[in-house]
Amino acid sequence: MKMCRKYEKILYPTDFSETAELALNHVKAFKKLKSEEVVILHVIDEREIKKKDILSLLLGVAGLNKSVEEFEKELKDKLMKEAESKIEPIKKELEELGFKVKDLIVVGVPHKEIVKVAEEEQVDIIIMGSHGKTNLKEILLGSVTENVIKKSKKPVLIVKRKKVE
C-alpha cells in the first residue's frame, strides 16, 4: 500500500502579482488536504534596489545630501512597509481558514531566498505562480520559478498564469 505524502507546511512565495494570487487559491485548497501551516514569503529583490540606487544618482537624489546608503535604507524601509501592508490581508484570510501563518519579508535574490527559506522552515511543499510581475508571455516559466524548480529539494507546485491573449 502506497503512503500519500502529507503537505502539512506550505511555503507560499508571493510578489503580489496576479499569478501569485492564483497560487494563493491553491494554497487555500490544501486546507482540505489537511495542511496546517503556511509560510508567506515576500522577497525584496536586492538587484532592483541597486538599479534604483544608480537611477537615484543619475536623477540627482544623491545631491539632496543623502548618501547611497541612506537612500538604499529608505528604499528598503518603504518596500518593507508596502510588503507588510499587502501581506496582512493574505495572512488574515489564511488564518480565518484555520491555517497557522508565519510571514517573512527578506531582501535578497528571490530564487535563492525561496530555496533557503524552504529548507530553514522545513516546509513540505512550495506553491507559487509560474510568472511574477514581469509576466512575459513569450516565456514558458519565469526565471525565479525556473530557478526554484532547479535548486529546491522540496516539491514545487507551479500555478499557471491566466492565458494571455
Q: Which three cell numbers stand for residue 36?
A: 496546517
Beta strands 125-129 and 100-108, pairing class: unpaired
Q: Which domains, ranges and CATH numbers included, belong to the chain? A: 9-43+87-159 (3.40.50.620)
157 and 125 Cβ atoms separated by less than 8 Å = yes
Q: What is the pTM of this model?
A: 0.85
Residue 162: CB partners within 8 Å, gap ≥ 6?
18, 19, 22
What confidence score (pLDDT) does residue 161 get?
A: 77
Report residue 1's pLDDT band, with 50, 70 and 90 as the boundaries. Answer: very low
List, in order, residues 6 or more apart from 136 with CB less than 8 Å away: 142
Query: What distances in angstroms separate CA 155 from CA 4, 10, 117, 122, 129, one per listed residue?
Result: 14, 10, 14, 12, 14
74 vs 89, higher pLDDT: 89
The confidence score (pLDDT) of residue 139 equals 47
